[in-house]
A and B are shown apart, each in its own frame.
Chain A
Amino acid sequence: MSDAQLQIQIARQFIEAIPFARAVGMTIESVGGGHAVITMPFDERLVGDPRRGVLHGGVISALMDTCGGAAVMSHPVGPSTAATLDLRIDYMRAAKAGAAIRAEAECYHVTRSVAFIRATATDGEDGPPVAAATGAFTMTVRPSAEKKEGAA
């Protein structure tokens, strides 16, 4: 098994151990190098406005938050913990009724204790994404990983 495959497997186990991520059916598609892709199937129980058949904004937010966290955890500096400090979500359009949602997040900058992410959510349709997010996470880096980074 390659390092990348091992990293995906560890991340998958990590996400599957999160009770809420399991409850809404989140699945890691890829993760590594500060980048993550997570999908979530459509589920009637997650609908926010039945008149329009659209998922609740909050569950899309939960997906983007989880995906952002996974991107931070996979950053090459090797964070050992990550917690959301703030998250801003722009809802560009309603997700297509019945469609699975795919979130993609990138951790584009890290300092010693803060990681910055941006993310998008799509529903398989052409055009703009369903939603976009930017966020900041607090993180801690394992002392050994930090030393290695500093020595390089």
Chain B
Amino acid sequence: MSPRTSPEPVHALKERRDGHLSRLVGSMPYAAFLGIEFDRRGDELTAVLPFKDMLIGDPMVPALHGGVTASFLETAAIVELSWSILWPEMESGTGGDVGPRLPKTIDFTIDYLRSGLPRDAYARARVVRSGRRFASVHVEAWQDNRARLFAQATGHFLMPADPRDDPGHV
């Protein structure tokens, strides 16, 4: 009779998951430039964009730059999709050590619902469909009230090649 393997201690589990997430986000210099952070609850991610003056696009209103909003949503979508690819490998302990392989954006459509206020913004992305080659991701962003979105977007992505399909990969 083999001894039952005890579950991974909670602190080790959190450290491992947070480590993978921070390596993933840390692999994008532009996310750091904007100051985007990710809040994790289990596998659920919320992208957070803390406000800073640099993010302003219209000093008169003042409002966040539309391009900042687009960048924030696209980053949230890419990280969510990469995270969803990484998760099963990470949990089974078979992968996640080759470094993040990022999907490539094919197209991205942003719907500006109201102007972004000069305060923190949040975004949550949902992988609507994920196949071997393509994925479709929807993302919603809000500020003070979760139900009052200020922007939403849909993007199509080319999935990263699986390194296990590449014999040359170490």
Contact = CB atoms under 8 A, between A and B. Distances in A.
B65 A89 contact: no
A117 to B, nearest CB: 12
A47 B75 CA distance: 12
B59 interface: yes
Contacts of A87: 66, 70, 109-110, 112
B59 A18 contact: yes
Nearest to A55: B30
Interface string A61-91: 1111110010000000000000111111111
B164 to A, nearest CB: 17
Contact of A62 (B32, B67, B78, B112): B67
Interface stretch (A19-27, A119-127, A142-150): A19-27
A86 B28 CA distance: 25
Chain B residues touching A, range: 35 or more
B167 to A, nearest CB: 19
26 contacts: A17-B59, A18-B57, A18-B58, A19-B57, A19-B65, A20-B65, A20-B68, A21-B57, A21-B65, A47-B29, A50-B27, A50-B29, A56-B30, A56-B74, A57-B74, A58-B67, A58-B74, A62-B70, A69-B66, A86-B109, A86-B111, A87-B110, A87-B112, A88-B107, A90-B106, A91-B107
Interface of A: 17-21, 23, 44-51, 55-59, 61-66, 69, 83-91, 94
Interface of B: 27-33, 53-59, 63, 65-68, 70-75, 78, 102, 104-112, 115
Given A18-B58, A20-B67, A58-B74, 7 more contacts: A19-B65, A58-B70, A62-B70, A66-B57, A88-B109, A89-B107, A91-B107
